[in-house]
Amino acid sequence: MRFDIISVLPDLLTSPFAHSILQRAQKKGIAEIVVHNLRDYATNKQKSVDDYPYGGGSGMIMSIPPFAACIEKLKSERDYDEVIFMSPDGETLNQTIANQLSIKKNIIILCGHYKGIDQRIRDIFVTREISIGDYVLSGGELPAAVVVDAVVRLIPGVLNDETSALSDSFQGELLDAPNYTRPADWQGHRVPDVLLSGHEAKINDWRHEEALKRTQERRPDLLK
Ligand code: SAH
């Protein structure tokens, strides 16, 4: 799977993909993440990527030509399944969307800045708009990193223990059960006995019960 992320601040996207699971996915050749500097596609002398809003008002708007040039170049090289714009007014990211995206092959992600991007970029090029929650960030880079992380960890072969993604919260209708590791007793705080019993069926039952309890308490909306 390949992601092409178009950004005016590509350095913001270096670290999130250079460690742990995302780094391993790239080293194994399962995921390719390419970040493009939007400024490289600016055609005017000042290399500007934004301009004043028509109709007046505060904030700068990212203009069409640099985005169009970058998207068109990418599309001339391969076919893309989605062109995603990160935007607070898009559909809110959830596990279902991450699952859907994880079976795609090539995805372009556009990161906005300032007041946003020219509406015509959205009308002409964008196939899907995704928000990471009801709050406004200063740029689309952190949201893009969130989407890529949520999606790449689902691709088979990325996680070492493949079943571990399946038992995560939101993968089914239940949240994850509480997790424990050594020591079994920390200053009198003991790990539940059943987890030390070695009895697999009992442990599975306990985990299911705990996951159910936690879901009822915290997210009853998930239990349809
Ligand atoms: N004026 C816009 C916000 C612009 S914030 C509005 O009110 O909707 C600048 C950029 O940051 C956006 O274009 C988008 O790419 C990104 N961004 C900010 N908050 C986001 C969020 N919650 N989810 C996804 N992208 C976001």
Question: pTM for the whole thing?
Answer: 0.95
Query: Which of 22-31, 77-86, 165-174, 195-204 comes out lowest in average pLDDT?
Result: 165-174
How sure is the predictor about 163, in pLDDT bands with cuts at 50, 70 and 90? low
Sheet holding 82-92, edge to edge: 32-37, 2-7, 106-110, 82-92, 128-131
Number of domains in the chain: 2
| Pure H helices in 62-107 | 64-77, 95-102
Tell whether 171 and 148 lie within a shared domain: no
Tell whether 145 and 172 lie within a shared domain: no
Annotated binding site for S-adenosyl-L-methionine: 112, 132-137
The whole-chain average pLDDT of the chain stands at 96
Per-residue pLDDT at 166? 80
Q: Is the CB of 133 under 6 A from ligand 1?
A: yes
Tell whether 171 and 147 lie within a shared domain: no
Q: Is the CB of 87 under 6 A from ligand 1?
A: yes
Q: Is the CB of 140 under 6 A from ligand 1?
A: yes
Q: What residues make up the domain containing 195?
A: 167-222
Residue 89 alpha carbon, nearest atom of ligand 1:
8
Q: Is residue 157 part of a domain?
A: no
Residue 116 alpha carbon, nearest atom of ligand 1:
13
Residue 161 above 80 pLDDT? no
Q: Is residue 161 part of a domain?
A: no
Ligand 1 centroid to residue 93 C-alpha, Å? 14
Residue 162 above 80 pLDDT? no
Tell whether 41 and 135 lie within a shared domain: yes
